[in-house]
Structure 1
Amino acid sequence: MNEDVIIDSDSRQRDIWPQMREEATRAAAGEPVLASYFHNTVLRHKSLDDALAYQLASVLDHSALTATSLQEVIAGALRADPQISRCMQADICAWYDRDPACDQYLTPFLYFKGFHALQSHRVAHWLWSEGRHTLALYIQSRVSEQFAVDIHPAARFGCGIMIDHATGLVVGETCVVEDDVSILHSVTLGGSGSGGGDRHPKIGRGVMIGAGAKVLGPVRISEGVKIAAGSLVLRDVPAHATVAGVPARIVGRSAAAPAYTMDQTLDSEE
């Protein structure tokens, strides 16, 4: 795989910012006690990027690095790398399309810690790639503390990622997650020993990883795989297989892109 994750999600790109502003306006009118909240997080900002910088800085605020300073860092990353914004918008669409509890584009942006953790990681990854490892690790630490999500800044994510619930997610340094992947809570994409080098999983497009699953070592999870909840994966998995168990074994065929259907059962393979 190339050093940079290949992104081809532009075909699914939507202009969601006007809709998010409409949703915020309706929410403020419907719950006046939160009107200032919707104004500060959405309505007073000129762009979705500006709103994201404010939102992430607010949730990661700490005396060691204030929200004002963090907002400048995040805004700088968004200006320097437009791919962060493209992926962020595709992530919002992924939640909207795949999560039946998400009936507005605004919902993950404001309330879902999986979204906040992922976008914070995208900024930390940019910092890491710029050689600013200390600040990247600081953001990783704050994300872990705030959201119970621990993603190494060097790990690489594509677009259209949904991290549902997110609590307990661990992603190692050399992990790569391609486009259109869905990951549930308590998942580990980790190493299998103390050796260095390439030691973490590579997750293909359209994969769904069920709650509590552990994928360990430099294994390749090919396109369209479904990993059942609670499974332990220690070997490569071929495309469009469903695997389950400890250790995991192939138990069926998956849909074209299980990440979209979010079907957790094992008795409905195509």
Structure 2
Amino acid sequence: MPVTGSIEWTSFRAALFDLDGVITPTAEVHMRAWEVMFNEFLAGWDGAGDTSRYTDRDYFDHVDGKPRYDGVRDFLASRGIELPEGSEADGPDADTVHGLGDRKNDAFNAVLEREGVRAYPGSVALLDHLATLDVRLAVVSSSANAPAVLETAGLADRFETVVSGAVAKELGLPGKPAPDTFLHAAEVLGADASTSVVIEDAVSGVRAGAAGGFAAVVGVDRGVGAEHLSAAGATVVVADLADLVPADPTTTGGTR
């Protein structure tokens, strides 16, 4: 897919990156962990609601980019399945919103520990380019695992701040598609929406950037579809962040 639009990086004070699917291919790990967890749950559920198999479309429509328990709630609602909310005291075997969310998280952490993670080369290329400019960087992720993923990928020192799902919970910030986590990250970096760019691969994250009135919202199409990212409010859509690294090292913008 060709680049749609471009980014003049020197126009921005801050770049706010989602993590999974933008910097690291861990979105695929999350995606498969959700698939295994939900299909095992649906196969054993004998209550009311649609128990047909969970698919990739379910992930993109109801789960992708959202805080973990919000993803559980939204998917179950789409199937007409009602479960108790439960609490953080629930174990992963509990058939509650919290229990299912924790069950998925255990599956994700097992894969991360077993296989590790390497960043997308194109994303590292963009980070290398931005390191030569006066652009401050943050990760804004719905996942509580974001710091561990960055450490495993060897990228923890690239970002001044990480607003993870755990940080958002601690600060009482609503998750994506609300813009609050991105706005908070911009403020921490001494910027605001008018001087920051959001980089996202999920429709919910793109919607958050658009809702926050950010100067630019980059949609990275890792499978959700360029048309869906554009419809959600992306001002630039690329297939890989290497597309936004200038071919000419004497320039500072993106490809055109």
User: TM-score range, shorter-chain basis?
Assistant: under 0.3
TM-score by length of 1: 0.26
Give the structure, 1 or 2, with the largest relative contact order (CA under 8 Å, sep 6 or more).
2
TM-score by length of 2: 0.27
